[in-house]
Structure 1
Amino acid sequence: MGRGCRMLLAVLLLTAIFVCPPYAAAAPDITVQTEAGFEGKVKYGKGAPVVITLSNSGSDFTGDLIVEFMENYNLGGGRAIPVTLAAGETKTIQFAIPGLGEGNMGGQQMQMIFLYEGGWEDGEPIDFKGSDTLTPLFMDPATRFIGVLSSNADSFISLRTGLASQGAATELFQLNRLRDFQFPTDPAALESLDYLIADEAAYRELPAEAQNAVLQWIKEGGTVVFGAGSAAAGTAANLTDYLPLTIAAAKELDIQGFDEPVPGYKAVLNEGAMVLSENREQPVAASRELGSGQVIGIAFSIGDPRITSDSGYATYMQSLLSTGQSQKTVLPPEQLIQDRLVYDIGSVNELFESFAVSLPLAIILVALYILLAVPVLYAVLKWKDRREYAWLIIPLLALLASVLLFAAGAKDRLGNPQIQQTGLFKASGEGSLDGYFVNSLLSNRDGDYRFEAPGGTELASSLTGLFADRNLHQAAIVEQNAEETALIIRNMRYWSVSSIVGHTFLEQAGKFETNLTVKDGQLTGSIRNGFSFAVEDITIWSGTRMMEIGSLGPGEEQAVSKAVQSNVLAPASPAAQYYGFQPVAEPEDILPARKQAALSVAYDHVTADGDRSVYLIGFTREAIAPVELQGQRADVSAVNLLLQPIAPGHIMAGDVELDSPFFDTAVTSQEPGGYAEQISEMPPVYFMQDGIYTLTYSMTDLELAARLSLEELNFSGISRGMRMAILNQRSGEYKTLSPEQERLTENAGQYMSADGQIILEFEVRQSAAADPEITLPQLSVRGVIAE
Structure 2
Amino acid sequence: MLMLQIQPRRVLRPATLLMASIIIFVIALLLAPTASAHSLQPMAGGPTIDKVSIGFDGMYQDGNWTPIQIDLSNTGNDFTGKVSINVPSSSPSGQNGMQTANMYQEAINLPPGAKKHITISAPINLKIQGFNAHITMDLLDGTGHSITHRIIDTNTNTYNQTLVGVLTDTPNNFGQLNLALSNLFSPAGQVKNLSAATLPKQAQVLKNFNAIVIDDFTSSNLSQEQTNALQSWVNQGGNLILAGGPEWKRTLNTLPASLMPATIKGTGTLAAGKQLLPVRTLTKGDQSTADTVKSTIPISTAQAAPNSTTILADGKTPLIVQQVQGQGTVYYLAYDPTIEPLASWQQTNQLWSTLLLRSLGDQALMSTSRNNNANMSMQGNNDYFGTMIQVLQTLFPNAFPSIWLILALLLSYVAILGPLRLLLVRILKRRTWSWRIVLSTIVVFTFLSYGLALQQKGSAIINSSITLLQLNAPDQTGTSGHATTFLGVFVPSQGDFQVHVPGASLVQPIDQNNMPYSSYNGSPSASTQRAIFTTGTNSTDINLQGVDIWTTRTLMTQSDTHTTGGLKGQLQIQQDKVSGTVTNTLPYALSDAFVLVGDSYVAIGELPSNSSKQITLDLKSRDPTATNSLTIADQIANSRGLQSNPNGNVYTSGAIQSSDVLQHHVMVLEALGGGYCDSNNCYHQNVQSINNNGNITKTFIQNNGNGTSNRDPLLLSGAGATLIGWAKDLTNNNGAITVNGQTTNGSQETVVQAPLDVNFSGPITFPASFINSQVVSVQQNAPGNVQEPAPGTYMITTGSMTLEYTLPVSGTLKDSAINLTSSAVANRNTIINIGPSIDINHIQSYLYNWQKQSWDAITFSQFSCSVNNAQAYIGPNGRILLHLSNHDTNVVFDKPALVVQGTITQ
Query: How high is the TM-score relative to the length of structure 2?
Result: 0.72
**Which amino acid in the other structure matches residue 573 of structure 2?**
V
**Which amino acid in the other structure matches residue 316 of structure 2?**
E
- Which residue number corresponds to residue 297 of structure 2? 262
> In the TM superposition, what is the alpha-carbon distance from 1:538 to its structure 2 partner?
1.6
Query: Superposition pairs for residues 740-779 of structure 1, below 5 Å?
Result: 740=862, 742-745=864-867, 748-755=870-877, 756-763=879-886, 774-779=893-898
Give the secondary structure class of the aligned counterpart of 1:305: coil
- Mark the CA change 1:761 to 1:20 in structure 2 (over 3 Å): closer, same or farther: closer
Unaligned 5+ residue runs, structure 1? 1-13
Q: How big is each residue's C-alpha offset from its partner over 1:162-206, in whole Å with a ceiling of 9 and x where there is no partner?
A: 3544669642222239xxx63333433322123322223422233
- Mark the CA change 1:234 to 1:146 in structure 2 (over 3 Å): closer, same or farther: closer
**Which amino acid in the other structure matches residue 259 of structure 1?**
T
- Mark the CA change 1:35 to 1:333 in structure 2 (over 3 Å): closer, same or farther: farther
Q: Distance in 1 between matches of 2:347 and 2:311?
A: 17
Contact 2:571/2:578 (<8 A) preserved: yes
> In the TM superposition, what is the alpha-carbon distance from 1:227 to its structure 2 partner?
2.0
- Which residue number corresponds to residue 721 of structure 1? 838
- Indicate yes or no: 2:152 matched with 1:123: no
Aligned pair partner of 1:476 in 531, 535, 560:
531
- Mark the CA change 1:335 to 1:486 in structure 2 (over 3 Å): closer, same or farther: farther
Q: Distance in 1 between matches of 2:253 and 2:215?
A: 10
Contact 1:523/1:563 (<8 A) preserved: yes
- Indicate yes or no: 2:206 matched with 1:190: yes
> In the TM superposition, what is the alpha-carbon distance from 1:642 to its structure 2 partner?
2.1
What is the count of residue pairs matched by the alignment?
Answer: 752
**Which amino acid in the other structure matches residue 199 of structure 1?**
D
- Mark the CA change 1:590 to 1:748 in structure 2 (over 3 Å): closer, same or farther: closer
Contact 2:576/2:764 (<8 A) preserved: no
Q: How big is each residue's C-alpha offset from its partner over 1:694-742, in whole Å with a ceiling of 9 and x where there is no partner?
A: 14132152636x6467544433336682342233534645636344573
Give the secondary structure class of the aligned counterpart of 1:528: strand
- Which residue number corresponds to residue 6 of structure 1? none
Aligned pair partner of 1:552 in 607, 614, 633:
607
- Mark the CA change 1:615 to 1:327 in structure 2 (over 3 Å): closer, same or farther: farther
Contact 2:511/2:555 (<8 A) preserved: no
Q: Distance in 1 between matches of 2:460 and 2:172?
A: 62
Q: Distance in 2 between matches of 1:38 and 1:19?
A: 47
Q: Distance in 1 between matches of 2:659 and 2:525?
A: 36
Give the secondary structure class of the aligned counterpart of 1:426: strand
Give the secondary structure class of the aligned counterpart of 1:727: strand
- Which residue number corresponds to residue 9 of structure 1? none
- Which residue number corresponds to residue 733 of structure 2? 624
- Mark the CA change 1:500 to 1:325 in structure 2 (over 3 Å): closer, same or farther: same
Aligned pair partner of 2:121 in 89, 96, 115:
96
Contact 1:581/1:593 (<8 A) preserved: no
Contact 1:421/1:639 (<8 A) preserved: yes
- Which residue number corresponds to residue 256 of structure 2? 239
- Indicate yes or no: 2:460 matched with 1:350: no
Q: How big is each residue's C-alpha offset from its partner over 1:12-53, in whole Å with a ceiling of 9 and x where there is no partner?
A: xx99x9699658457436455321222221112123322123
- Mark the CA change 1:472 to 1:307 in structure 2 (over 3 Å): closer, same or farther: farther
Q: Distance in 1 between matches of 2:33 and 2:445?
A: 69
> How big is the alpha-carbon RMSD for the aligned residues of Structure 1 and Structure 2?
4.3
- Which residue number corresponds to residue 11 of structure 1? none
- Indicate yes or no: 2:670 matched with 1:599: yes
Q: Distance in 1 between matches of 2:64 and 2:724?
A: 27
Q: How big is each residue's C-alpha offset from its partner over 1:615-652, in whole Å with a ceiling of 9 and x where there is no partner?
A: 22223465534572332232222343322222222232
- Which residue number corresponds to residue 4 of structure 1? none
Aligned pair partner of 1:735 in 857, 860, 881:
857
- Which residue number corresponds to residue 316 of structure 2? 281
Sequence identity, in percent?
16
- Mark the CA change 1:91 to 1:402 in structure 2 (over 3 Å): closer, same or farther: same
**Which amino acid in the other structure matches residue 659 of structure 2?**
E
- Which residue number corresponds to residue 452 of structure 2? 408
- Which residue number corresponds to residue 48 of structure 1? 66
- Which residue number corresponds to residue 832 of structure 2? none
Contact 1:423/1:438 (<8 A) preserved: yes
- Mark the CA change 1:235 to 1:280 in structure 2 (over 3 Å): closer, same or farther: closer
Query: Superposition pairs for residues 254-653 of structure 1, below 5 Å?
Result: 254-255=274-275, 257=277, 258-260=291-293, 262-270=297-305, 273-287=308-322, 292-323=327-358, 327=362, 335-341=379-385, 343-351=386-394, 352-358=396-402, 361-362=405-406, 365-366=409-410, 369=413, 372-373=416-417, 377-378=421-422, 380-382=424-426, 384-411=428-455, 413-430=457-474, 431-464=479-512, 475-508=530-563, 511-565=566-620, 574-575=631-632, 577=634, 584=655, 587-588=658-659, 592-593=663-664, 595-602=666-673, 604-605=702-703, 611=718, 613-620=720-727, 624-626=733-735, 628-630=737-739, 631-652=741-762
Q: Distance in 1 between matches of 2:300 and 2:190?
A: 29
Aligned pair partner of 1:108 in 132, 135, 142:
132
Give the secondary structure class of the aligned counterpart of 2:726: strand
- Which residue number corresponds to residue 806 of structure 2? 699
- Mark the CA change 1:184 to 1:557 in structure 2 (over 3 Å): closer, same or farther: closer
Q: Distance in 2 between matches of 1:523 and 1:20?
A: 83
Q: Distance in 1 between matches of 2:357 and 2:456?
A: 52
> In the TM superposition, what is the alpha-carbon distance from 1:590 to its structure 2 partner?
8.6
Give the secondary structure class of the aligned counterpart of 2:799: strand
- Mark the CA change 1:470 to 1:359 in structure 2 (over 3 Å): closer, same or farther: closer
Q: Distance in 1 between matches of 2:275 and 2:434?
A: 101
> In the TM superposition, what is the alpha-carbon distance from 1:429 to its structure 2 partner?
0.9
> In the TM superposition, what is the alpha-carbon distance from 1:365 to its structure 2 partner?
4.6
- Indicate yes or no: 2:191 matched with 1:172: yes
> In the TM superposition, what is the alpha-carbon distance from 1:117 to its structure 2 partner?
2.5
Q: Distance in 2 between matches of 1:540 and 1:393?
A: 65
- Which residue number corresponds to residue 65 of structure 1? 83
Q: Distance in 2 between matches of 1:629 and 1:776?
A: 50
Contact 1:726/1:751 (<8 A) preserved: no
Q: Distance in 2 between matches of 1:607 and 1:286?
A: 25
Q: Distance in 1 between matches of 2:276 and 2:140?
A: 61
- Which residue number corresponds to residue 78 of structure 1? 103
**Which amino acid in the other structure matches residue 716 of structure 1?**
S
- Mark the CA change 1:773 to 1:576 in structure 2 (over 3 Å): closer, same or farther: farther
Q: How big is each residue's C-alpha offset from its partner over 1:435-466, in whole Å with a ceiling of 9 and x where there is no partner?
A: 42322222122223333334442211124368
**Which amino acid in the other structure matches residue 262 of structure 2?**
L
Query: How high is the TM-score relative to the length of structure 1?
Result: 0.82
Query: Superposition pairs for residues 653-732 of structure 1, below 5 Å?
Result: 654=763, 656-659=765-768, 661-666=770-775, 668=778, 670-674=780-784, 684-686=792-794, 688=795, 690-699=797-806, 701=808, 703=810, 707=813, 710-717=816-823, 721-722=838-839, 723-729=842-848, 730=852, 732=854
Q: Distance in 2 between matches of 1:711 and 1:383?
A: 94
- Mark the CA change 1:65 to 1:198 in structure 2 (over 3 Å): closer, same or farther: same
- Which residue number corresponds to residue 6 of structure 2? none
**Which amino acid in the other structure matches residue 551 of structure 1?**
E
> In the TM superposition, what is the alpha-carbon distance from 1:475 to its structure 2 partner?
0.5
Contact 1:326/1:611 (<8 A) preserved: no
Q: Distance in 2 between matches of 1:510 and 1:624?
A: 17
Q: Distance in 1 between matches of 2:819 and 2:156?
A: 44
- Mark the CA change 1:155 to 1:752 in structure 2 (over 3 Å): closer, same or farther: farther
- Indicate yes or no: 2:62 matched with 1:34: no
**Which amino acid in the other structure matches residue 898 of structure 2?**
L
Q: Distance in 2 between matches of 1:292 and 1:663?
A: 13
Contact 2:573/2:758 (<8 A) preserved: yes
Contact 1:712/1:781 (<8 A) preserved: yes
Q: Distance in 1 between matches of 2:420 and 2:398?
A: 33
Contact 2:599/2:769 (<8 A) preserved: no
Q: Distance in 2 between matches of 1:356 and 1:98?
A: 34
